[in-house]
Amino acid sequence: MNKKLRKAVIAGNWKMNKNRAEAKALIEELKPLVKDADCGVIVCVPFTDLETVLAATEGSNICVGAQNCHFAPSGAFTGEIAATMLTEMGVEYVVLGHSERRQYFGETDVTVNKRLRAALDAGLKPIVCVGELLEQREQGVTAEVVGMQTRIALGGVSAEELKNIIIAYEPVWAIGTGKTATADQAGEVCGLIRATVADLYGKEAADGLTIQYGGSMNAGNAAELLAQEDVDGGLIGGAALKAPDFSAIVAAASK
């Protein structure tokens, strides 16, 4: 089973939640609960929490990520953050192309690709999000949509660079809705993403790629989703805001 070759990674996406005091408290509660994790553990936090969370996680097994970065190295981009500004702080990961960025902030497949390029050049490890809308699933074009998002996001990325990338399959209809994809649905689309990557980079590269599922994953449904051959971890929104919930998902991924 190729699944055994891959590293399971559970990443929390805090979205626009937690001030600095709350962020510190959550990390302090989380640290003892995940210290023996047999999977990668990442928290992707608001920009304003990064310094606090980097300090609080120092010396622990919790890695830190941001939730976006801009594609230019510097310049007249009011309100944006450059990838090198993140690496200079010690940030390791960055979420790119989240559906909320696509939906509310005009993010497109092309800008996701540009941000991915900038993130890789700066030495960040991107967690690239793809996923279909409800209408697209109902019209039977999930494979086409997700395949296209994956191909465009990875444009110009080398096989060596692919090793630093995680792809998160997040069906938009399952995000924050309490409506989880079934384990079979999640497994099927993660498998399609892996097949797309195999087509671009070869089977060996695809077999080594960590592909997460995200969308209402919680302590109750994590084990079943993570048991799927092509689901190597989770990108967790709501359930990442409470240490017992998040650590239960980490425990499920560590089995």
Hey, which residues are catalytic here?
A: 98, 170
For residue 97, state whether it binds ligand PGA (rule: CB under 6 A): no
Which residue in the set 170, 230, 232, 245 belongs to the binding site for ligand PGA (CB under 6 A)? 170
Q: Name residues contacting ligand PGA, limited to 9-38 (CB under 6 A).
A: 13
Q: Distance of alpha carbon 139 from its chain centroid, rounded? A: 26
Minimum CB separation from ligand PGA for residue 24, in Å?
22
Which residue in the set 216, 221, 228, 247 belongs to the binding site for ligand PGA (CB under 6 A)? 216
- The residue count for binding ligand PGA (CB under 6 A) is 13
Residues 144, 196, 106, 168: what is their CA dihedral angle, to the nearest 10 degrees? 110
What is the rounded distance in angstroms from the CA atom of residue 222 to the CA atom of residue 24?
25
Phi and psi torsions of 76, nearest 5°: -85, 75
The stretch near ligand PGA (CB under 6 A) out of 51-59, 84-92, 136-144, 237-245 is: 237-245
For residue 235, state whether it binds ligand PGA (rule: CB under 6 A): yes
Query: Closest residue to ligand PGA, Cβ-based?
Result: 237
Minimum CB separation from ligand PGA for residue 42, in Å?
12
Q: Which of 199, 236, 196, 194 is nearest to 215 (CA)?
A: 236
Which residue in the set 34, 56, 146, 175 belongs to the binding site for ligand PGA (CB under 6 A)? 175
DSSP state of 165: -
Q: Tell me the CB-side half-sphere exposure of residue 224, using CA atoms within 13 A.
A: 12
Q: Which of 69, 124, 93 is nearest to 9 (CA)?
A: 93
For residue 210, state whether it binds ligand PGA (rule: CB under 6 A): no
Asked whether 50 and 20 are in contact (CB, 8 A), the reply is no
Write out the E strands in 1-146: 9-13, 40-44, 62-66, 93-96, 125-130
Residues making up the chain, counted from first to last: 255
For residue 147, state whether it binds ligand PGA (rule: CB under 6 A): no
Q: Please, which residues bridge with residue 63 across strands? A: 42
For residue 236, state whether it binds ligand PGA (rule: CB under 6 A): yes
For residue 214, state whether it binds ligand PGA (rule: CB under 6 A): yes
Q: Distance of alpha carbon 72 from its chain centroid, rounded? A: 22
Measured from the CB atom, is 187 or 234 closer to ligand PGA?
Answer: 234
Which residue in the set 90, 176, 202, 244 belongs to the binding site for ligand PGA (CB under 6 A)? 176
Which residue in the set 237, 243, 246, 251 belongs to the binding site for ligand PGA (CB under 6 A)? 237
Q: Which of 126, 104, 130 is nearest to 114 (CA)?
A: 126
The stretch near ligand PGA (CB under 6 A) out of 24-32, 66-74, 140-148, 209-217 is: 209-217
Chain positions contacting ligand PGA, by CB under 6 A: 13, 170, 175-176, 214-217, 235-239
